[in-house]
Amino acid sequence: MDIEKLISEMTLEEKASLLSGDDFWHTKAVERLGIPRTMMSDGPHGLRKQAEGGDHLGINDSIKAVCFPAASASAASFDRDVLRQIGEGVGDACQHENLSVILGPAVNIKRSPLCGRNFEYFSEDPYLAGELASALIKGVQSRNIGTSIKHFAANSQEHRRMSSDSVVDERTLREIYLPAFEKAVKEAKPWTVMCSYNKLNGEYASQNPWLLTEVLRKEWGFEGYVMSDWGAVSDRVKGVAAGLDLEMPASGGSNDERIVKAVKNGELSEEAVNESVRRILSIVDRYEKNRKPDTPWDMEAQHELAAKLAAQCMVLLKNEDNVLPIAAGEKVAVIGKFARVPRYQGGGSSHINSFRVESLMDALAGNENITYAQGYDIITEEPDEALIAEAAELAAKADKAVIVAGLPDSFESEGYDRTHMRMPACQTALIERVARANPNTIVVLYNGSPVELPWIDCVKGLVEGYLGGQAVGKATRMVLWGEENPSGRLPETFPMQLEDNPSYLSYGGEGNTAIYTEGVFVGYRYYDKKKMNVRFPFGYGLSYTTFACSNLVLGKEAVRDTETLTVSVDVENTGKTAGREVVQLYVAPAPCDVFRPVRELKGVEKVYLAPGEKKTVTFTLDKRAFAYWHQGLHDWFVKTGAYGIQIGKDSRSILLEKTVQVEGTTEEPAQTVTVDTIFMDLVKNAQAMKALEPLMSQVMGSLGAGEPEGTAASEAISDEMSNAMMQYMPLRGIVSFSGGAISFDQLQEMLKGINQK
């Protein structure tokens, strides 16, 4: 397309028409000028392509497709390559089905286990979410299909999701809720960004100029178009001015008319409309030039790929007495409705109409050592005594019992939040009874978010499968029977109980206001700071083999924040089984007067090792690995000091640590000294301390410092007390405690000299 020529030839009405959808899934065409309409589809772990008259919540059927592991599962892989392969598979399917953009990935941070859409999000950690999102985007877009990273931004709850105001301070936004978007936009360059429903600090995301223009475009350099979430537009004219290009779905022409009217009456510039048209057409053109509808889509091959990848995502959480893997020939009682009808994906806009679903019992077909009992129903939470008794009796006759449990669809979905972290009562009762009947009981969980585990001490084995996609049954068999050595790690903390979560007191908000009271202390940043007991820490996961880390080497003992630091560590498989180890690099901040976490994840590498094999893993750290967001500077700031470089198995298990001295090269903003500034805050101001030094001894004497020992004065006022009083005293106190050496007016004149630059 000659986009500039097309814009010059369009009427204002035609331009405005391009800024909203043609229906639920298509952009508009301008037939007169040869501009085609293009189709998009929900995703991102598979296609949910619908026919005309579709919907965004999955009420109407979509075409048969392949359902890969959902983000809750794929994030547990801690493996960029897993996400890249999912992206490539989805991209091929999009080309085959003439789809220009797949909606996703969703990279919102898991603020609370209660968020109904957590199954669709990656992690509580922004570094991990950003790395995995970037890999998925690169995979999809390697097929010349666009992605729409979502939901921008601070979409942390489903409760009142279309009206709620996320009230978040800028430091928390910059350190927790924006970095995954920033990483993906800068590195993977998604074709589009989808704004969220909610307000952010008082303004809807769909019309928030700070978010859509200042940050996304000017700071991060985003060049594609921004679309609304479906029905997220409040004021369409304000949206265009703020940087919202495409409204989805169709508005029936009403908002197009509002745009035309606003331009004509001078409320909106036509150049703003032109810019939105320009961005939309650039993406339409990019797709049209690279369309390949003859791209093969081998669903059977993708099903096998989905099984392989899901197996690499599963997390082994408990393996007492090496109850796993199950040996060939062992008699196993498989129990649970989900063993026959698995929960493998979430509900709502990402729900795939899978062409095939393989349950654990499907995957075990023909194995004469397997027996099955249903154990529970998903229609009710109430325990069914007959089903439980049957399962316990079957378990007692087996060498091992495998219970496949988790959360039913009704417990977590787009559109509403969970109200608790409990599993259905029928499943808890079943697990406890079966564990009494067979001491070698193993539980496999299919769920999209953490659950409370009151029965954990009753069972010997526990595998977290999350929502593993349509081939989850085969993947489960591969892990349980040792065909795949589990290598997943938890991308989120499992707290002991819901009440332990840092957002517990304010999650969901009051009315339409949701204040993020916990600030930057989300997930492990909170639990580790408080040294709180958790069920399983962030990054946790076991293996059927053992690994050892050694020889931690830092490229330099000291660096400036304008330089990079190379870190290497040797990883060895010290066991007898091949497997994958996830090497996690954390940075422990230098001592600082700003509240910071104990440590933060800043590097991840997954490495495959044969028994006895050793490899060197290398990381590169830049300024952001050491920085926090400085509210005064409105920028990233590195405090000069000693930082810990830590290699961990998880956020609680640090194996190796070395210290690097990092020099910050940015000066903090000059402090304006007033009569209310306390002496403690003057320490950094050498000019002020020099000017006030002659008065210090008089003031300290007035506060009782230096009294001879044994006197009544020394007993009443210790030197420690005098020093503390001095530290907390405002400068105006000099007038009262200097013995008349300085007046208030003289102090004011002194401050003018101190504050002169």
Q: Which residues are catalytic?
A: 229
Cα separation of the two ends of the chain: 55
Helix count (H) and strand count (E) of the chain?
23, 27
Q: Which two tokens stand for residue 186?
A: 């800068």
Cα separation, 683 vs 505, whole angstroms: 37
Which H, E and C letters describe 289-344, residue by residue? HCCCCCCCCCHHHHHHHHHHHHHHHCEEEEEHHHCCCCCCCCCEEEECHHHHCCCC
Q: Do the beta carbons of residue 485 and residue 580 sit within 8 Å?
A: yes
Which H, E and C letters describe 501-557, residue by residue? CCCCCCCCCECCEEECCCCCCCCHHHHHHHCCCEEECCCCCECCCCEEEEEEEECCC
Q: What is the DSSP string of 120-149?
A: GS--S-HHHHHHHHHHHHHHHHTTT-EEEE
Q: Which amino acid is at 535?
A: R
Q: Do the beta carbons of residue 222 and residue 185 sit within 8 Å?
A: yes
**Which distant-in-sequence residues (6+ apart) come within 8 Å of 726 by Cβ?**
679, 699, 700, 703, 705
Q: Do the beta carbons of residue 435 and residue 414 sit within 8 Å?
A: no
Residues facing 416 on adjacent strands: 413
Q: Do the beta carbons of residue 53 and residue 45 sit within 8 Å?
A: no
Cα separation, 208 vs 243, whole angstroms: 8
Cα separation, 223 vs 185, whole angstroms: 9
Cα separation, 657 vs 130, whole angstroms: 25
Smallest CA-to-CA distance from 198 within 224, 234, 227, 170 is with 234
Cα separation, 707 vs 724, whole angstroms: 16
**Which distant-in-sequence residues (6+ apart) come within 8 Å of 298 by Cβ?**
none
Which H, E and C letters describe 655-699, residue by residue? EEEEEEEEECCCCCCCCCCCCCCEHHHHCCCHHHHHHHHHHHHHH
Cα separation, 94 vs 144, whole angstroms: 9
Q: Which two tokens stand for residue 241?
A: 């001015």
Q: Beta strands 370-373 and 513-515: pairing type?
A: unpaired
Cα separation, 45 vs 354, whole angstroms: 11
Query: Nearest 5°: phi and psi at 677?
Result: -70, 130
Smallest CA-to-CA distance from 247 within 445, 83, 60, 16 is with 16
**Which distant-in-sequence residues (6+ apart) come within 8 Å of 499 by Cβ?**
none
Q: Which two tokens stand for residue 235?
A: 């004021």
Query: Nearest 5°: phi and psi at 162?
Result: -95, 0
Which residue is it, tokens 């603020």? 111
Centroid of chain to Cα 754: 46
Q: Which two tokens stand for residue 286?
A: 């990019």
Which residue is it, tokens 């049957």? 390
Q: How many CB atoms lie within 10 A of CB 118?
A: 31
Smallest CA-to-CA distance from 387 within 426, 439, 425, 437 is with 426
